[in-house]
Amino acid sequence: MNPSRSLAVLLLALTASNAAAQSLPSDEAAAQSKASADKDRDRRFQWFREARFGLFIHWGLYAVPAGEWKGKPIEGIGEWIMNRARIPIAEYELLAKQFNPVKFDADAWVQMAKDAGMKYVVITSKHHDGFAMYDSKASRYDIVEATPFGRDPMKELAAACQKHGLKFAFYYSQDQDWHESEASGNVWDFPADDVKKVLGRGYFEGKVKAQVREILTQYGPIGLIWFDTPRLITKEQSQELVDFVHSIQPDCLVSGRVGHGVGDYDSAGDNQISVGSTERDWETPVTLNDTWGFKKDDSNWKEVSVLLRQLVEVAAHSGNYLLNVGPTAEGVVPQPSIDRLREVGQWMKVNGESIYGTKGTPFRYDASWGTVTQKPGKLYLHVFDWPKGDLVVYGLRNKVRKAYLLADKKPVAVSQTANPAIDHTAVRFKLPAKAPSPHASVIVAEIEGAAQVDNALLQQPSGTVELNANQGRIVAPSDKPTMGFDARGVATRWTSADESLAWEFKLVQPGAFDVVVVTSEQKYGRGWEGGHKVTVDVDGTKIAGTIEAQEKRVPPHNPYWPYAITKLGRVTLDKAGTHKVALVPQSIESAKKFGLTLVSVELVPANKK
C-alpha cells in the first residue's frame, strides 16, 4: 500500500472508530477507553512484571571520599556526604579530578546482575550532588569532561545490557541538586534555598529536561526513569516531566518518586517491604548494607536469607525488588555484595520460576510458615520455616491436583480436609525432613481452576492468631479518621484515643491465648512511643494494659524496623468459629507525634514457648 493511501485508510478507520465511540452511551465509551488504556498498560508493564528483580547502582563522585571527609568519618549514607559534611561546591567539584575508575568493567557488572537472576539495571545518571555520570552536553559537570577517566560508562553499560538481554534504566535526581541554586537541597552554599517554593524554571528546563532528553536519546531504549525525592516540584512540573519522558520514549516507565502520584508505578520507601497485596505495580529499593553509595566502613551486610525473604515477600505482594550495589571510585563492586548476589543467583536458578512473572498471594495475609506467589493453575508456597512434621495450609478452597518440591521436582503427598461446621478447609503437605533450601524452600501446588481462598482472617496452623493493623476496620467518630497505614501495613498517625481498630477472625483450634500487642519502632529503632493505655476486647472480655517494649523482635523481612512486644494478659476461647477483637485506646502518648504504631494484635497459644 502506498503511504498516502495507508494514511487515508488510517484516517478513515480513526474517523469510523471515533464515530462509533461517539454513538456509544458515555459509560460504555468510558469502559471501552479504560479497557484499551489497561491493555496498553499491560503491554508497557509486561517486562517489569516478568522481571520482579533488578539491580540498583549508586555510583558517583561520593565514592571517592567513601564516607570520610578531611580524616573524619561522616555519619549517614555515603552518597549524602556532600550534604552531611556541608562540603562547598567548589571543594566537592575537585573530587572529579580524582575519579578515575580504571577497573570499571561494564560487562562484568551486567554479568553479575544476570547471574544473580536480575532482569534490569537502574543506575544513577545524576544523583543529588548534581554530577552527571554520563556524557552530558547540558552541563560540563560530567564524567567525560570533568574526570581523568574521560569515558562514558553508561554507553558501555547500555551495550552490555543489550548484549546480555537485561533492560537498562536510569536514576535521575530531578529535585535535589546540590550543585544548583535553583534546585532543592543545598542550604550551605545557597542559604536562601529554604525560602524557595518551586524549582527554578532555568534549572528545570536547562538541566533537568535537557539531561532527561539526553539520557533518553543517547543510550537506546530505556526501561524506566527512577526519579527521586520530590520536594519543591509542583504537581504540574511532575506531570510535565512524565509527559516529557513519554514524548521521547512512550514505553519508558516513570517511577512514583517523580512526585504527586503521577508516576507510572509506586515506589515503596527505602528498604520498606510492603505487605498490602496491591493491584498497582510497585517496586521497593533495598540496600545490601546500610548505604547506597560506596562507604568504606559500612560492613552491616544483610544475610542472604534476609535478602531472599525480602525478594519473595515483595513478589508475594506483586512488587519488584531493586537491590543496590555501591561500586568504589575504581569501579569495583565490593566483594561482600558480589558474594551475596552470587548466592541469591544460585537460589534463583533453582527457584526463579516461582518469582518471574508471578502474581502475588491470593491470601489476605502471609502465613506463619511463609508466603505464596502464583501463576495460572499453580501456587508456589515459599516456606521460610520448614516444619518438623507436615506443612498445613489453611483456607485454600481449590482441589490440589498434585504437589512437588520445585528444587528437585520430587512429589509431595497431599491430603485435604474440610470442616463444614465452621466453613473451614485445610491442605496437608507431607514434607521430607530436610528443607531443600536453608533460605526459602518452594513447594509447587497445582490446583484446579483459579485460586479460591477463605476471605476470613484465619488462625494460623501454628495456633497463633495474627491480626494485622491494616486488616482491621477503623472505628472512628468521623468518616475521615486521622489514622492510616503505611506501606508495611503498620498503623500511622494513630494519635487520637477516639479511634480504634476492630477485627473478626476464624478460630480453628480453641484454647487459652496470650494477648500480645506488637508495635513498631520507626526506621533504625528511632521514634517509637510507648505508655499508651489500651484495652483489647476479645468477644467482650476486656484486657487492659500499657504499651511498653517488654521484648524486642526484629522482623526478618524488615530489619530496620524492630518491633516492640507487649504481653497484656490471657484469654480463653473455647469454641471454633468466628470471634471478634478490638483494640481500644484509653489514652495515647503522642508528644513525639508517632503515637500508637500498631503492627498487629496476636493471640498466641498460652502453652507456646
- Tell me which residues touch ligand FHN (CB under 6 A): 77, 79-80, 228-229, 270, 285, 292
Which CB atom, from 341 or from 483, has the smaller least distance to ligand FHN? 341
Q: Which long-range contacts (CB under 8 A, 24 or more apart) does 538-545 make?
A: 538/571, 538/573, 538/579, 538/580, 538/581, 538/603, 539/573, 539/579, 539/580, 539/581, 541/571, 543/515, 543/568, 543/569, 543/570, 543/571, 544/568, 544/569, 544/586, 545/569
268 DSSP assignment: P
**Exposure of 88 by Cβ count < 10 A (0-12 exposed, 13-18 middle, 19+ buried)?**
exposed
At closest approach, how far in Å is the CB of 537 from ligand FHN? 39
Which CB atom, from 524 or from 607, has the smaller least distance to ligand FHN? 524
Which CB atom, from 55 or from 444, has the smaller least distance to ligand FHN? 55
Within a 10 A sphere around the Cβ of 233, how many other Cβ atoms? 24
In whole angstroms, give the CA distance from residue 182 to residue 266. Answer: 27
At closest approach, how far in Å is the CB of 326 from ligand FHN? 10
**β-strands 282-287, 319-325 pairing:** parallel
At closest approach, how far in Å is the CB of 560 from ligand FHN? 13
At closest approach, how far in Å is the CB of 345 from ligand FHN? 23
Which CB atom, from 266 or from 499, has the smaller least distance to ligand FHN? 266
- Bridge partners of 142? 132
Contact 435, 386 (CB under 8 A): yes
At closest approach, how far in Å is the CB of 124 from ligand FHN? 7
Which CB atom, from 247 or from 300, has the smaller least distance to ligand FHN? 300
Which CB atom, from 322 or from 381, has the smaller least distance to ligand FHN? 322
Which CB atom, from 77 or from 491, has the smaller least distance to ligand FHN? 77
In whole angstroms, give the CA distance from residue 62 to residue 472. Answer: 44
Which CB atom, from 83 or from 361, has the smaller least distance to ligand FHN? 83
The grid cell for 521 is 519502632
DSSP 196-249: --S--HHHIIIIIIHHHHHHHHSSS--SEEEE---SS--HHHHHHHHHHHHHH-
At closest approach, how far in Å is the CB of 228 from ligand FHN? 5
At closest approach, how far in Å is the CB of 67 from ligand FHN? 13
At closest approach, how far in Å is the CB of 292 from ligand FHN? 5
In residues, how long is the chain? 609
Residue of 177, 101, 171, 110 whose CA lies nearest to 143: 101
At closest approach, how far in Å is the CB of 127 from ligand FHN? 6
Which CB atom, from 60 or from 276, has the smaller least distance to ligand FHN? 60
Angle at 428 between CA 363 and CA 379, to 5 degrees: 40
Q: Which amino acid is at 98?
A: Q
The residue number with the shortest CB distance to ligand FHN is 285
- Bridge partners of 124? 171
- Bridge partners of 375? 378
Residues 258, 289, 336, 326, CA torsion sign: positive
Sheet of 465-468, strand order: 465-468, 598-605, 511-520, 563-573, 551-553
At closest approach, how far in Å is the CB of 57 from ligand FHN? 11
Which CB atom, from 270 or from 290, has the smaller least distance to ligand FHN? 270
At closest approach, how far in Å is the CB of 146 from ligand FHN? 21
Mapped onto helix, strand or coil, the DSSP state of residue 72 is strand
Which CB atom, from 286 or from 391, has the smaller least distance to ligand FHN? 286
At closest approach, how far in Å is the CB of 80 from ligand FHN? 6
Which CB atom, from 117 or from 285, has the smaller least distance to ligand FHN? 285
